[in-house]
Amino acid sequence: MTRNKTYLLTLILSSAAWLSPSLSGQTTFVYERGKMFNDVDAFRMEQAIDLKKQQTPVYYEKNIPGEQQTVSYKTNIPSYKQGIFFSRDSRSGDYQWPNNTNRLLTWVFTRLDDLAKEDYPGIPSNGAPSLLGDALLLELVDGQYMFAKAVAGENSISWFRVNRDGSLTVFLSTLGTDNLAPQAPVLLMKKGKTAYEAIHKAYIALTGNREISALQKRTDKDYFEAFKYLGWCSWEHYHYDIDETKILNDLDGIEASGLPIRYVLIDDGHLANKNRQLTSFVPDKERFPNGWKNIISRKKEDKVKWMGLWYNFCGYWMGISPENDFPEKVKQSLYPYNGSLLPGQSRENIDTFYHYYIRTLKGYGFDFLKIDNQSFLLPLYMGNKEVVRQSKACNLALEEQTHNQQVGLMNCMAQNILNIDHTQYSGVTRVSIDYKKYDEDMAKSHLFQSYTNTLLQGQTVWPDHDMFHSCDTVCGSLMARSKALSGGPVYLSDSPVDFTRENILPLIDEEGKLFRPEAPAIPTPESIITNPLQGGKAYRVFAPTGDEAVSLICYNLNTSPRYRKVQATISRSDYLLRETMTGKPVPQNKRIILYDWTGQTASELDTDQQTELEGFTDRLYHLCPVNNGWAVIGVQEKFLSPATVRIISCNRKQLTLDVLCSGTVRVWVESGNKKELRSIPVTTPGTITINK
C-alpha cells in the first residue's frame, strides 16, 4: 500500500472514531519492532482543548470517564504562520514512537498537513516525519510564539498526532491494560513574544510542577567535574569490537600523544549477554579476562584521571535475561513480561535493582556512566499494568542512585518525555543522532538537530553533541567548533595515532580543561523555524562567552548544489541575544567589535556585515563590547577566545586581565583617534595589565 493510501485509510479510520464518543475495542499497546500507533482506539472527549484560550500552563482533565485506557481530544490551535513539530522519524519495519532513541527531530512546516505529504522536504539521511510527536512550536499570526508539549502524569502519558487534514489530536493513555484515573494532566502550553521566551516560560512551569516532572533548571545543577575536561570514547573507533588489550593499547597511545585527555569512556561491547539480554554486570570474560582491574589501574591524577563505562538502561538492548547471575534479592526485584525481565512492580523493587546496577560500576572503580537506550524502557513495559508509573520510577531511581553514590551520569538515547522531564540531578543528555565519520549529510543533520533540540533540552541539561573524530577530513574542524560552542562534553573517538592537534588544542588549556560558554549554543531567531538543509539560506547559532561577549557560528548546511554559496549577515542586534541565555540585561547602545576568528581580524560592527559561505563550511565570530576604549577578544589560538580571560578591572587608561592559558591575547584598544587590535604574548597563565 502506498504512503498516500495509508494516510487516507488513517484519515477514514480516525474520522470514524470521532463519530461516537466511545469505542468498543481497546488498543493493545504491547510494543514490537515495526508496530505503529497512528491509529489507536480512544474515547473521544466531548470538550476540545482550545489552545487559543488556554490560560493556565497545564491543561488538566478532571472528568475522565471510567474504564477508559485512552482518551483523545480535538485540539484547536491559534492561527499561525509556520512552526516546528518535534517527533522522531518513521521508517518501515523500524522501531517507532515512543521509542524516540536519539531521534527527536525538527520538522518544519508552513501548514501542519505538510508533514503528511509524500513530497515533504525532510532531512537527508533520515526517514519521513513520524506524525506522533511530543512538542509543537508555532509562530502565530499575531506575532507571538506558542510552545506546547506532551506531559506524563502519575500513570498517564500524552502525545500529539498530526492528521492529514492539518488538524491536531491529543491523546492521553496509560499505554497498558489499566484505566486512566478520573483526573490527569494532558499538556503544557505557554506563549511568548519570542520563541525563546515561550519555550523558557514553558520549562519554568514544567520544572515547578512536580506532578509532571522531576527537574531542575540547568543553572541549578552541579556539572560533573570530568565533563569539564577533554575525553576519549571507544565507540566510533571500535563499535562493539573492544577488549582489554585494545583499551590498554589505546591508553598507551593517549599518553604517548602528549594531549591532555583526562577521561576515557569505554562504550558498548563489554556487557555479558544472551540474545541481546543482560546476563551479568561482570564484563565478558573472553574480552576482559582480568575484569576491569588492569584498566582501572591506569588512572593517574595528572593524566587520565577519570574513567567512565557504558551501561544500558534496560539491562542490554532487549532487556534482562532470566539467565542472570544477580544476587537473590536483586533477582526477586525483577519480574517477567513480554520476553524480558523488568524492574518492578513496586518502587522498592525498582530502587533495589538500580542500586545494584550503579553499585557494580562504583565497585569496579569507574567514576561515571553513559546510560544508553533509555527511551526503550517505556516500550518494554507497554501493554502491561502501571506502565508509565513503573517506567518513570526507573528514571527516578537512576537519577537518585547516581546522585547518592556520587557517580557522574551522561544520558543517551533519552528523548521521550519520561526521560527528558525527569533528569532531576544529571546535567548532560545527548541531543542528536550519532555522529558518523566522513558523512557530510549526516553531519549537517547532526548539527541542525543538536542546536534546535538544545532550545528544549538545554533548559535543564547541557547538550551532548556526541563524540567526534578530530581527523575527519569532511567535518572534523566544524565538529570541533560546534562541540566548543555547545558547552557540553567534548570527547574524541579517533585512534590515538590519528589525533589531529589543530582540531583539538583550540578546545582546551594545558591541563585539558575545556573553554566553555556561559550557556549552550542555540539558533539565532531567523534560524529557529527553518530547515537549513533545504532552505537555501545560512544557518546561524550563538552562545554567551566569557564575561561579556557573544560567540556566533555561521554555517552553510544546504544539501542542494543550487545553494553552494550563501550569504550570512551579522548585525549589532546579534549581541543583544546574550541576554536571552544569561537573563542578565545587556545595554542597548554598546559599540561592538566583530572579531573574525578564522581571519584573526577585527572591525567595529556599526553596520551589518556580510560573509560568504561556500560549500559545507562554517565561520566563527566573536562580538565583543567596547568599554572605556577596550574590547577584550581573548587568546586567539582558542576557539572560544573570550572564555580564555577574565576581566579584573577596566578604566580609561588600564586593563587588567586574568589569562587562563598561554597564547596571544588580542585586545581592541582605542586611544584618542587611534584604534588598533593589539597582540600580547602570554607564556604563563595569570594576571596581566595593559596600558593604553
**Residue 623 pLDDT:** 98
What phi-psi label fits residue 583: left (phi over 0), alpha (psi between -120 and 50 degrees) or beta?
Answer: left
Domain membership flag for residue 138: yes
Is there a domain that residue 684 lies in? Answer: yes
Per-residue pLDDT at 375: 97
Whether residue 393 sits in one domain with residue 322: yes
**Mean pLDDT in residue range 194-215:** 98
pLDDT of residue 27: 83
Domain containing residue 642: 522-691
Check pLDDT > 70 for residue 6. no
- Check whether residue 74 and residue 108 sit in a common domain: yes
Residues 444-460, mean pLDDT to the nearest whole number: 97
pLDDT band at 587 (very low <50, low <70, confident <90, very high): confident
Is 187 within the bounds of a domain?
yes
* E-strand stretches of 204-258: 230-233
Tell which residue, 586, 575, 624, has the closest CA to residue 604.
624
Given 460, 482, 507, the domain boundary residue is 507
What's 472's domain CATH number? 3.20.20.70
Residue 636 lies in a domain: yes
**Grid cell at residue 643:** 572564555
Kindly state whether residues 106 and 184 are assigned to the same domain. Answer: yes
Are 538 and 504 in contact by the 8 Å Cβ rule? The answer is no
Pair 563, 647 in one domain: yes
Distance CA 377, CA 549 (A): 42
Does pLDDT of 108 surpass 50?
Answer: yes
Contact criterion met (CB below 8 Å) for 450 and 243 = no
- Do 158 and 172 touch, CB atoms closer than 8 A? yes
pLDDT score at 13: 31
Position with higher pLDDT, 10 vs 690: 690
Q: Give pLDDT, residue 588.
A: 86
Domain boundary at 441, 476, 507, which?
A: 507
Do 496 and 538 fall into the same domain?
Answer: no
Residue 63 near residue 38, CB atoms below 8 Å: no
What per-residue confidence (pLDDT) applies to 264?
98
Residue 33 domain-assigned? no
What is the pLDDT, as a whole number, of residue 2? 35
Give the chain's domain count.
3
Q: To the nearest whole percent, how much of the chain has pLDDT over 90?
A: 93
Q: Grid coordinates representing 476?
A: 572534523
At 252-307, the pLDDT tens digits run: 999 999 999 999 999 999 999 999 999 999 999 999 999 999 999 999 999 999 99
Cα–Cα distance for residue pair 554/569, rounded to 1 Å: 9
What's the first-to-final CA gap in the chain, in angstroms?
75
Task: Mark whether 279 and 158 lie in a shared domain.
Answer: no
pLDDT band at residue 91 using 50, 70 and 90 as cut-offs: confident
pLDDT at 25: 54
Question: 398 and 495 share a domain?
Answer: yes
Give the integer Cα–Cα distance in Å for 385 and 335: 13
Report the CATH number at residue 606: 2.60.40.1180
- Residue 18: per-residue pLDDT: 34
Residue 31 inside a domain? The answer is no
Mean of pLDDT values over 347-358: 98
Q: What is the mean pLDDT of residues 581-588?
A: 88
Domain stops at, among 173, 208, 243: 208
Which residue, 614, 505, 503, is CA-closest to 558? 614
State the average pLDDT over residues 662-691.
97
State the sign of the Cα–Cα–Cα–Cα dihedral 596, 600, 606, 609.
Answer: negative
Domain annotation covers residue 37? no
On whether both 598 and 536 belong to a single domain, the answer is: yes
**Do 498 and 590 share a structural domain?**
no
pLDDT in tens, 22-37: 343 578 999 999 999 9
Question: Which pLDDT belongs to residue 470?
Answer: 98
Average predicted confidence (pLDDT) for the chain: 94
What is the C-alpha to C-alpha distance for residues 294 and 366, in angstroms, rounded to an integer? 12
- Whether 491 and 535 share a structural domain: no
Three-class secondary structure of residue 559 per DSSP: coil
Least confident span in 342-356, 573-587, 631-645, 669-683: 573-587
List pLDDT tens digits, range 402-414: 999 999 999 999 9
> Are 455 and 337 part of one and the same domain?
yes
Asked if 317 and 413 sit in the same domain, the reply is: yes
Encode burial over 137-173: b for 16+ CB neighbours within 10 A, e otherwise.
Answer: bbbbeeebbbbbbbbbbebbbbbbbbbbeeebbbbbb
In a domain, 517, yes or no: no
